[in-house]
């Protein structure tokens, strides 16, 4: 198959009309090829070896025409026997081993268009550039966050400056406070508040949230950027301590860097959260925020992860989150460290969403993720090798798009697949 024909097949399969996508799809064979068993593919749930990929699992796939990435389902994983020479491309930022007819996307110094060559046809003494720029689809900024959307257990306190009878009369049927207090106002359980939230908010002069009686009241709505930064600092430096002797939880965020401490203090002031601090950390007693943070960000350093709504944030807000994470657990060389495998996979995914090609190592149980934007490639005379092998290879069929993020030993590049459905 010539490069021109391959480009036409790519174009045909990445410019389908919405009507054609509703019809029964047939796989378009682009090349045979195949990955070795060690290949890892970046999916929407993290890294998955090609041997563990299953039909329906979504991988990050790239359209080489628009350079848009989207999650696309794997429609087939075919195991084929192989006996011959495998092609290896190995350098500082690439480690790929594939069949000779596997499709490798590339660019040249003089031509930024994405083209394809079969691995076995890569010319000696040539320099090939990888795909180093792409983007995800634009998404709207998260303007505000209402934490009651993420919680089931809490109590809402409503202050109303008018006459109590007027407030009660304005409430719809079934919207009954669980108690009334002259100091803290009317109190609603979580279910009643969510059912009648718009009415209660329209009537109230002030609304706060707490776990129950005798607990501090705090805001429940926050600016989207502030809330994202709050989660970022908790994920990197935070913990929740549940005391057996008191009915509360201590939310703690450790930080000794003075510049970062000032940023965190300003953040809590904007959020109106009454954290206390010393020269090592910030603390606040709250069962509501303790549950919120552990349920959506994980408990303990080995179990931390990003909350699910991160994948719906705008790119600007995703980058803001990544900057806070690196400020907390990274260094000046943009290397991020974590003991959580799940968080490491989340960071790899976040990098990809932001147009950053991820690379990682694991040393003594600590993941090191290199978060740097690069413009890399390989010199075929130096980085291209051949190896005799007799083993099974794995051919992927992916819906619509024909390039996935794949690699070995923590090094990834955009690589072609065998078929498009």
pLDDT of 18 reads: 42
| Domain 3-132+374-420 class, CATH top level | mainly beta
Q: What DSSP assignment string belongs to 144-203?
A: EEEGGGG-SS-EEEEE-SS-HHHHHHHSPTT---SEEETTTEEEEEHHHHHHTHHHHHHH
Q: How far apart are CA 38 and CA 50, in angstroms?
A: 7
Grouping H, G, I as helix, E, B as strand and the rest as coil, residue 266 is: helix
Assigned fold of 222-370: Endonuclease I-creI (3.10.28)
Distance of CA 368 to the CA centre of its chain: 17
pLDDT of 40 reads: 98
CB atoms within 10 A of CB 205: 11
User: Measuring CA to CA, how many Å separate 135 from each of 63, 128, 343, 351?
Assistant: 10, 21, 22, 11
Q: How far apart are CA 210 and CA 262, in angstroms?
A: 27
Cβ–Cβ < 8 Å for 43, 34: no
pLDDT at 281 over 90: yes
- Could you say which DSSP state residue 35 is in? B
pLDDT of 25 reads: 55
Pairing of strands 366-370, 335-338: antiparallel
Q: How far apart are CA 213 and CA 358, in angstroms?
A: 48
What are 135-165's pLDDT values in tens digits?
Answer: 999 999 999 999 999 999 999 999 998 877 8
Cβ–Cβ < 8 Å for 381, 403: no
Kindly tell me the burial class for residue 262, based on how many C-beta atoms sit within 10 Å of its own C-beta (0-12, 13-18, 19 or more): exposed
Q: What is the mean pLDDT of residues 66-81?
A: 97
Reported confidence tier of residue 27, pLDDT bands at 50, 70, 90: low
Pairing of strands 68-91, 249-254: unpaired
Q: How far apart are CA 199 and CA 170, in angstroms?
A: 9
What are 211-241's pLDDT values in tens digits?
Answer: 999 899 999 999 999 999 999 999 999 999 9
pTM of the full structure: 0.90
pLDDT at 15 over 80: no
| Torsion sign (Cα): 338, 62, 94, 129 | negative
396: CB partners within 8 A, 6+ apart: 35, 41, 50, 53, 74, 76, 77, 404, 417, 418, 419
What are 315-349's pLDDT values in tens digits?
Answer: 999 999 999 999 999 999 999 999 999 999 999 99
Reported confidence tier of residue 246, pLDDT bands at 50, 70, 90: confident
- The number of CA neighbours under 13 Å toward the Cβ of 49 is 8
pLDDT of 26 reads: 61
pLDDT of 19 reads: 39
pLDDT at 24 over 90: no
- The pair of structure tokens assigned to 56 is 């329906």
pLDDT at 186 over 50: yes
Average pLDDT value over all residues in the chain: 92
DSSP lists the bridge partners of residue 156 as 188, 209
pLDDT at 356 over 70: yes
- Could you say which DSSP state residue 24 is in? P
pLDDT of 1 reads: 44
Cβ–Cβ < 8 Å for 269, 210: no
Helices (H) then strands (E): counts for the chain: 11, 28
68 vs 29, residue with greater confidence: 68
4 vs 280, residue with greater confidence: 280
As a whole-number percent, the residues of the chain with pLDDT over 90 amount to: 84
Domain residue ranges in the chain: 3-132+374-420, 155-210, 222-370
């Amino acid at each position: 198959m010539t490069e021109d024909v391959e480009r036409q097949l790519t174009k045909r399969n990445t410019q389908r009309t919405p009507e054609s996508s509703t019809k029964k799809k047939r796989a378009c064979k682009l090349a045979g090829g195949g990955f070795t068993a060690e290949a890892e593919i970046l999916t929407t749930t993290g890294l998955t070896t090609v041997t563990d990929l299953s039909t329906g699992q979504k991988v990050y796939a790239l359209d080489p025409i628009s350079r848009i990435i989207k999650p696309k389902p794997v429609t087939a994983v075919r195991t084929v026997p192989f006996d011959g020479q495998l092609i290896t491309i190995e350098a500082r930022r690439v480690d790929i081993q594939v069949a000779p007819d596997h499709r490798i996307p590339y660019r040249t110094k003089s031509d930024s268009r994405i083209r394809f060559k079969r691995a076995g046809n890569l010319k000696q003494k040539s320099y090939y550039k990888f795909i180093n720029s792409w983007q995800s689809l634009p998404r709207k900024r998260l303007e505000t966050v209402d934490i009651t959307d993420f919680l089931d257990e809490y109590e809402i306190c409503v202050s109303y400056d008018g006459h109590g009878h007027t407030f009660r009369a304005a409430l719809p049927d079934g919207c009954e406070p669980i108690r009334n207090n002259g100091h803290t106002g009317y109190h609603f359980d979580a279910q009643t508040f969510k059912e009648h939230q718009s009415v209660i908010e329209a009537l109230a002069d002030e609304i706060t949230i707490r776990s129950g009686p005798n607990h501090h009241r705090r805001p429940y709505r926050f600016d989207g950027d502030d809330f994202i930064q709050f989660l970022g600092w908790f994920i990197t430096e935070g913990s929740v301590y549940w005391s057996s002797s008191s009915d509360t939880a201590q939310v703690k965020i450790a930080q000794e860097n003075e510049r970062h401490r000032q940023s965190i203090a300003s953040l809590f002031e904007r959020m109106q959260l009454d954290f206390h601090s010393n020269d090592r950390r910030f603390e606040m007693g709250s069962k509501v925020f303790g549950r919120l943070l552990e349920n959506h960000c994980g408990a303990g350093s080995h179990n931390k992860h990003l909350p699910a709504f991160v994948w719906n944030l705008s790119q600007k807000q995703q980058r803001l989150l990544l900057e806070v994470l690196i400020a907390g657990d990274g260094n000046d060389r943009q290397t991020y460290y974590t003991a959580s495998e799940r968080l490491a996979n989340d960071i790899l995914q976040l990098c990809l969403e932001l147009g950053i090609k991820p690379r990682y190592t694991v040393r003594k149980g600590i993941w090191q993720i290199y978060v740097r934007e690069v413009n890399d490639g390989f010199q075929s005379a130096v980085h291209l090798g051949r190896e005799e092998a007799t083993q099974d290879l794995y051919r992927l069929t992916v819906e619509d798009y024909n390039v996935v993020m794949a690699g070995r030993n923590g090094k990834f590049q955009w690589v072609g697949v065998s078929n498009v459905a």
